[in-house]
Amino acid sequence: MLTSTKNLLEKAQRYSYAVGAFNLYNLEGAKAVVNAAEADNSPAIIQILPHILKYGGSPLIALFLEAADSASVPMSVHLDHCEEPAVIETALEAGIQSVLADGSKFSFRDNLAFTREMTALAHAKGATVEAEIGRISGTEDGMTVAEKEAKMTDPNQAKEFVAASGVDFLAVTIGNVHGEYYSEPRLDFERLAQVRQRLQIPLVLHGASGLPALMIQRSIELGVCKFNVNTEVRQKYLQFWREYGKTDSQSDLLDCQKAATGAMQEIIAQKIRLFGSAGKA
């Protein structure tokens, strides 16, 4: 059933687990998340990136909203990493209940002004906003940010930012990266603890693909209620089609779509268990 992201995250915060937010592109992705969430009686979030939203338009938004609403478990639909007010407005008008108003490439002041404006817009429509301060490195949505430019979240700035913007959730940068970790991930838990001491709102950790179980657990203990996952699920899907292309060109396409869904579902189920949300629907 379609539920607000705020409800999902506040409950997760109360009971110390996190909800997986999965970046999706199509029907197979939506089915994979719904099937995995239902099988484990877990809440889940469907996420859409702005360039996918632009490509799929209202039919894709409707598909994700309907997939979430027809699920037997609570689910929401969230717009990920959006810098464009017009796209945020379109998403909110289409019924998406939460957005990441991403001003992280701006200066602190400009990010604050942007986030404050988007938060007022979303709240007026009964929706909620995630913001990001600090800059996550890696590749996402066509953006590449060199690791050296990546800035971690400053706990004092985080406090000031949340108070001044009225934002609902905060994505922190503590050494997490989008895409693959090419060396052992190193998360700055001391920094996360300092952010937690200053903030009561649900925290979000991007770049959850490739994070080991102990880091996931520690992040949850320190206030992370939402993990974003894209790369691992996407890679599994692509790997499926690469292998299919080599071996079995005679198969029925629908059977392949089902198998591709199943491949993604396996990864999503692993994440749901790792995040502690299984059984929490």
Residues that bind ligand 13P (CB under 6 A): 23, 80-81, 140, 178-179, 206-209, 228-231
80 counts as catalytic: yes
CA distances from 11 to 18, 45, 197, 226, 280 (A): 9, 14, 19, 11, 9
Nearer to ligand 13P, 83 or 140 (CB): 140
**Smallest distance, Å, CB 252 to ligand 13P?**
31
- The 8-class DSSP code of residue 151 comes to B
Nearer to ligand 13P, 139 or 197 (CB): 139
Q: Which residues pair with 51 in a beta bridge?
A: none
Nearer to ligand 13P, 3 or 231 (CB): 231
DSSP-derived secondary structure for 208-241: -TT--HHHHHHHHHTTEEEEEE-HHHHHHHHHHH
**Smallest distance, Å, CB 204 to ligand 13P?**
9
Contact in structure between 253 and 49 (CB atoms under 8 Å): no
Nearer to ligand 13P, 40 or 80 (CB): 80
**Smallest distance, Å, CB 140 to ligand 13P?**
6
**Smallest distance, Å, CB 201 to ligand 13P?**
18
Q: Which residues pair with 227 in a beta bridge?
A: 20, 205
DSSP-derived secondary structure for 14-61: HHT--EEEEE--SHHHHHHHHHHHHHTT--EEEEE-HHHHHHHHHHHH
Reading the block at residue 98, the tokens are 């939460």
Q: Which of 50, 46, 53 is closest to 20 using CA atoms?
A: 46
Q: Which of 40, 80, 102, 168 is catalytic?
A: 80
**Smallest distance, Å, CB 171 to ligand 13P?**
8
Q: How many CA atoms lie within 13 A of 95 on its CB side?
A: 15
Nearer to ligand 13P, 211 or 278 (CB): 211
Catalytic residues: 80
